A and B are shown apart, each in its own frame.
Chain A
Amino acid sequence: MTRALAPSLLDLIGSTPLVELPRLSPKPAVRLYAKLEGQNPTGSIKDRVAKAMIEAAEASGELEPGRPLLEPTSGNTGISLALVAKLRGYPLTCVMPANVTEERRRLLALYGAQIVDSPPEEGSNGAVRLALELAERDPSFFMPFQYANTANPQAHFDGTGAEIAAVLDRVDVLVAGLGTGGTLMGAGARLRESFPELVVAAAEPLPGDEVMGLRSLADGYVPPILDVSRLDRKLLVSNSESVAGLRLLLEREGIFAGVSSGAVIHATLRLAEELDEGIVVCVLADGGWKYLSAAFWESDDVGAAMERSVWW
């Protein structure tokens, strides 16, 4: 796609670069490639999802002009929706855990979104719960609801996955962070069409005790769009492992990425070690900018410093 002249910022969503990571590869016969989703207009992969969800709702007639939007988010989807909502003329309210980084709150506010805080100790589950309650109480809201909206994985099937398949002749492993499951389900399904032996691997965060404040396990939440049986690997990554991955990515390859990308790199290296040869593609969901205020870039004891916040 030529980018000489774009009619709208929304036309610049997707078609992100795929770059090789030769300095991170554990052995020459294993090649690593990273999809740089931080290069989307608002700086994260969620631009794809926000645009797809709004366009699908407009096409179906569910979303009339000017109708207010409501969405639970830990930041990125909210910021992406804020851009789409601004350009398409919808007011936006985001429900977000109170303990996300300040950059995310400021960005959302600057884009003009309203922010409703959900209890910090409930993590992302709390934002989902509160948003569902608010939507039920006020039916004038339209809630795209990324956790259950099939336009989310579809955006990764048509975009993220198709873009990777278009430039590589072989992919053995796809690694992405697990949030809603949209990237893994959508890009995984598309890449399996081209590469049937593909291993789809999720990197998921080990949350700190203080953001797991559920009353019981029965309050747990599995996103409706996530089908765990379609994942081949599901790896838990601690905060300190994520930060180690982030620092390595910056030091070796000069890529300044967000916390989930650190987890993805940790998982990518673990899986790459298991291969004798092959191609591993990892999806780096955002850049490091929205985490710049965090202490972990320099701190040696990252674990304790990260326990109280929601990072993805």
Chain B
Amino acid sequence: MAAVRIPPTLRAEVGGLRELDARGETVGALIDDLVERYPPLAGQLYADGELASFVNVYLGGEDIRTLDGLDTPVDHGETVILLPAMAGGA
């Protein structure tokens, strides 16, 4: 079980919640668990079966793209953060 933080852009799809609990041994499994419960999320999070390029997923504050991607293992009690990719300040 891990807590998943939902960005404002996705809250409408999950009944307005800011954070949800999800089950899974990996980040991918956690997201699948969420998508099963809130099917409209699928179109936002995935593109061609992969994590969409405009979505960033962090585990323990680190982008899963620099970890093992959707296969990154998740320990009980960890926090996953979903964020839209944003232009950085510059």
Once the chains are docked, how many angstroms separate the CA of A207 from the CA of B10?
15
Residues of B within 8 A of A231 (CB): 63, 66
Residues of B within 8 A of A125 (CB): 86-87
Q: Mark B36-54, 1 if CB is under 8 A from A, else 0.
A: 0000000011000000111
Residue of A nearest to B87 (CB): A124
Q: Are A212 and B7 in contact (CB under 8 A)?
A: yes
Once the chains are docked, how many angstroms separate the CA of A213 from the CA of B9?
7
**Nearest Cβ on chain A to B71's Cβ, whole angstroms:** 16
Q: Are A179 and B90 in contact (CB under 8 A)?
A: yes
Residues of B within 8 A of A219 (CB): 9, 54, 84
In the complex with contacts A212-B7, A214-B9, A217-B9, A222-B53 CB distance below 8 A: yes
**Residues 41-90 of B at the A interface (beta carbon under 8 Å):** 44-45, 52-55, 58, 61-63, 65-66, 81, 83-90
Contact of A236 among B9, B52, B63, B90 (CB under 8 A): B63
Residues of B within 8 A of A73 (CB): 90
Q: Mark A114-151, 1 if CB is under 8 A from B, else 0.
A: 00000000011101100000000000000000110000
Residues of B within 8 A of A221 (CB): 54, 85-87
Q: Are B84 and A178 in contact (CB under 8 A)?
A: no
Once the chains are docked, how many angstroms separate the CA of A46 from the CA of B88?
13
Q: Are A234 and B10 in contact (CB under 8 A)?
A: no
Residue of B nearest to A177 (CB): B88
**Nearest Cβ on chain B to A101's Cβ, whole angstroms:** 11
Once the chains are docked, how many angstroms separate the CA of A123 from the CA of B87?
8
Q: Is A40 an interface residue (CB 8 A)?
A: no
Contact of A311 among B10, B52, B66, B89 (CB under 8 A): B89
Once the chains are docked, how many angstroms separate the CA of A74 from the CA of B89?
5
Chain A interface size band reads 35 or more
Q: Are A235 and B61 in contact (CB under 8 A)?
A: yes
Q: Are B8 and A209 in contact (CB under 8 A)?
A: yes
Q: Is A65 an interface residue (CB 8 A)?
A: no
Residues of A within 8 A of B84 (CB): 212, 214, 217, 219-220
**Nearest Cβ on chain B to A55's Cβ, whole angstroms:** 18
Q: Mark A175-190, 1 if CB is under 8 A from B, else 0.
A: 0011111100000000
Residues of B within 8 A of A236 (CB): 58, 61-63, 81, 83
In the complex with contacts A212-B9, A215-B9, A220-B66 CB distance below 8 A: no
Once the chains are docked, how many angstroms separate the CA of A310 from the CA of B89?
8
Residue of B nearest to A178 (CB): B88
Once the chains are docked, how many angstroms separate the CA of A207 from the CA of B58?
13
Residue of B nearest to A97 (CB): B89
Residues of A within 8 A of B9 (CB): 212, 214-217, 219
Contact of B89 among A182, A214, A312 (CB under 8 A): A312
Q: Are B86 and A124 in contact (CB under 8 A)?
A: yes
Q: Are A228 and B44 in contact (CB under 8 A)?
A: no
Closest 4 pairs between A and B when the two form their complex, measured CB to CB: A312-B89, A220-B54, A179-B88, A234-B63
Chain B positions near chain A (C-beta within 8 angstroms): 7-10, 44-45, 52-55, 58, 61-63, 65-66, 81, 83-90
Q: A221-B86, A237-B61 are in contact. List 18 more A-B contacts (CB 8 A).
A: A124-B87, A124-B90, A127-B87, A179-B90, A205-B88, A207-B83, A209-B8, A214-B84, A217-B44, A217-B55, A217-B84, A219-B84, A221-B54, A228-B65, A232-B66, A235-B61, A236-B83, A260-B89
